[in-house]
Structure 1
């Protein structure tokens, strides 16, 4: 009987004592640091170069904008916000701002529409597809000076090819270098010529990764090519559309080459009818005024304008991209109650399991 009592298993269960944490060696610490730090080291060259070529000039321009700074004398006395007030008081600044916004609308909107349409055509089963896809990139390779010189001759007032073609159909010639809206159309045409093919290839790359099963299902459901484009293609490439719209907005608001080379003088016309804000800044810094302080103030106001328009554009694009059927909103109180119920059920299951294990032992 005593022997039987000796071999009787104990009803209680004592948990094992926790082991003291083992100290990591130097090699293990280096391995952990490598996993945590190496990704930041890989991307650090970009941010270092961006800080030197982007953030530092931006901060230095802000310092220059509050001083009376000229080309010969250098830094003068501190004037604070006077440079900004002087720029805002000039009518030519507001005219250049209106010209910039007008050219932006005439170039960015048609550019995105034509680019996505061209990409949809290139996404079809075409013969020599590689040739056509690379052909749309040729205008982007051409130098901006060459594009401006060629289009400057095409849109010439006296001997331009466009006016010659208008004369053959009985229309009066257009003063491309005299009329304000006509000059904006001509400059926007140059911008669209250069950047439409580039954006079309971006859209094409996004369309190539759209699952073909979606098109097959749409075809079975009876959807035509146009319906498939708006119901399948556009929703699948919304993020790419947002990217292209934002980059096109930033580029068109900073346009300089095309209006600078549209005529021989390069000052935006006799009445500054196509002078953009960047061209106005260039004229303030290197023209008759030679005032770097005011030019820096123009640069910072343009930066704020581009940032504001880009932010509004991004928010609108995000809203369009996220439009559609949304899941119903759940209150925080409901979420907390569901979590509490789940924790209680888990605790009850754990207690039941431990009790059963003790009984079996």
Structure 2
């Protein structure tokens, strides 16, 4: 075995020991189409309020600009595949549905810790430099992961693999080391439209395209201020994120089980009662969601989502909990609560 091949084999062993499901490697220039596609997405305004995508578009679209010294990009996937039906809570409108990835510990912290462990090993083994990235830097992880052979971007734009499914977190290690690269994966979606057809808000203008402005994950997490009234009923009881397009992918029958217990759903977040969530003040919100990615959006945006869910519930017993929010100090929460009260009262007039 050559020196590079031996290093690669040892690297894969380190990644597996650290808890990653799969590893692939590509060159930083392996996604030449990314910049043009990103610019088209931005020009169409489909990023909504996510202005940070514009500010570092040159780095995001061209990894060679992000760190010119890098010679290889190591992409790693870690499974967080749920146990049971991830959409089961949608049948219980008195409870909130929270996206699977955020029912446990914040993956950013866990994945970055593992990446740093592998990175330290690589620095010692190959006398190189590294930079690690997990979702918060201007790196297009999904195109890089496809170029590195981990899978392909499905019609829902998420990464999926024949041996992974699509319930995966991605991390990247940029390095100055020259490493053997993998062949990119090709599309295996075929004629399937399951992910497109299930979307409650029709957020996919076409296969492989997403308009974030209509995506429930964007609306409940990234969007600041009131949600368009035409879209509110379509949120249902989804109060943080949306898993519909992920959950129906047929490739999930090959999904790898999650090995990290910290990703398993906390009991209180599997199907939380909407009336209990509506009562959270800022201190209560921070206490409940300590160590969770949900904490990032803050109490007001989260309770706004809860108010919309109560308005969609059709449950008159939830009226008192949302009526109390009509006097909330945050005007967006108060308006959402007033909308919910009017919607519930209208349903039983």
- Shorter-normalised TM-score: what interval? under 0.3
Q: TM-score, normalised by structure 1?
A: 0.22
- Give the structure with the larger helix fraction: 1
Q: Relative contact order (alpha carbons < 8 A, sep ≥ 6): 1 or 2 greater?
A: 1
Q: Which has the greater radius of gyration?
A: 1
